[in-house]
Structure 1
Amino acid sequence: MAENQLFISYSRANIDFVTDLVNRLKEQGVSVWFDRDIPSGSHWDNTIEKEIKAADTLVIVLSKTSVASQNVLDEASYAIRLNKRIIPIQIEECEIPMRLARYQFIDFTKDREAAFERLIADLGYKSAESPKTAPQQPKEEVNQPIYVDDNPKKEDKKGFLRYALLTAFVIALVIIAFFLVRSGDGREAIPAAVATAREVDPQWDSANKKASVESFSNYIRRKGKEAPYYKEALQKIDSLLPDFVLVQYRNNQDQLQFHKYLAFNEDGSPQKQTAVYSRPKPGDLLIATWDLTIYYDEDAFTEEIRGWVIRGGDKVRVLEVQPKVSGGNAIFMRVRCKKFKD
């Protein structure tokens, strides 16, 4: 059985669900702490800070009220700074906070029993035989990265039909072009057909409408290196990150100041699942954990760019990771970013 101290971060509105969850976890032998265990007379903030430090894993219960709770967001940010393992569990449909958007989550909104089994397995425990009841509330286990979906799930039928007809038209055009070329009458037809196929890409249209680092990143992540507009998507991202600066990936206190948002394999294809805190490579997109000091590109070690920062939650694209300098823990990166007045 794994030794794993859990800290549960949640909203008071979900106390019934959380109490049931804690009881079931304890039945499985899991060591769990949540704020009902704070002794009378204790200083609240000090106790929370101490317990997060002592925990191996932070389980965050995602609901409409918890994602709007400053306490929950503060607990998540502190755990991220300490490099704790984060497991979000979603108990109802809600807007996922940006700082948690790249963590794998477990979906309790559908099949609660399967979701609980998944949580136990992810924690390294073997479930006892058939548990009686799942924690109250929501439902299925999905263990996948969370990211903003640029294509509405409730796509209307007319739009789907239009896309299907366009696809059929392109296929027919390519077939006609093939026979024209064989007969010697249409040498220009196939390139024209391919160009038409490239134009018919609703996901690219959606990414362009939003015109954000997130929308172009999601296009690359979903469509892969073979996407018809893969290079254009990278160029669009670069255009949204116009500033070139030096910044510390790891500071002198040995804290990682970024986590990965979109990473790439050696062949340039996007990674489907990303090790959030693994060492970055040129080309990777990272998220700043908090507001960060930036340095002049020519001389990182003597002069910072005063009055300007990379904002917490903003994206940067890595150009170069510099070797560690002897005598300190800091590791610098050259990045593309959008800097802001402090």
Structure 2
Amino acid sequence: MTTKKKIFISYSRADLDYIATLVDALREKGADVWFDKNIRTGEQWDNTLEEQIKAADVFLIVMSKTSVASNNVKDEMSYAKSLGKIISPILIEPCEVPMRLARHQYVDFTQDFGWAVSKLMEDLDAAEIEIPGATSNQKATNKSSRVPISPAFMKKPKVIWYILSGAIGIILIFVLIDQCSGESTGDTEVSIEQSENPDWNKALNSESIDTYLNYIYKYGDEDPYFEAAQDSINALLPNEGLVTFAQPISDVHFTKNLYTGMDGTIQYGQGDGELPKKGDILSAINAVQVYDVDDKQAIYEKYILAGEKVRVLAVDIYEDSVWITIAFQDM
């Protein structure tokens, strides 16, 4: 997609190499981009910048740790806002989004560069120029999805099964503890097995996903406490988010710990090289950014760290990337 709007790029000099690559990619898409790489400093610099911001339709601000702290970038943005330019932020590295940009949605370039360029062009083509002093219903908003999600995935209902199973798990834990304490006089099968199995007692007392997994690894899915262990794991994963499982498909960010094999049976270990399925327990290989499930915005400073466990709630493939909705622990 090609936008007919003229683009002014505001950035930090520390990011010059990245900006040059970005400009080339945008121009290859047919964008009319003004890049100040070759102008001189001094009065000519200020005059040229002012003229180019006036002439531009879009003020593209590149957010990085250095640019958000730059007074020059802040001055340029204030001037562009006063002229009613389309403000279009993009994020090239994790950083704190300035307050004046908080109401603007931005395109995330930290994940898939090719997708981000295409998404930016699509958003700019759809955006309308803001009229200074116009009322809210006269202004067009520039909204963009932060994550490449297919239409079918966007229409999926929010998964809530793990919340219900987690609540059941919590209730079951309290029942078992109550029986173990001797307060219950009923001589039930559960209380007898619980008191005779130190590994199950250890799992209950630890409230640790790893301990529950170790129990499952040892006793398998035929054990009477298998479902209780699964429910207890769900109870320890109260949050929901969206992450990349693989991007591209060959670059995997998680390994499987407890999963459903190709034959439909429960498997344990380090995975089988296949895509994950709903219900699988995964372990992060490296830190992975978490996105909000509803608006697809990156959640600031929210990452699944290496070694942390997650439960797969849904799987979606977009071009060469695999995205998974997950349940994860409090951080």
TM-score, normalised via structure 2 length: 0.40
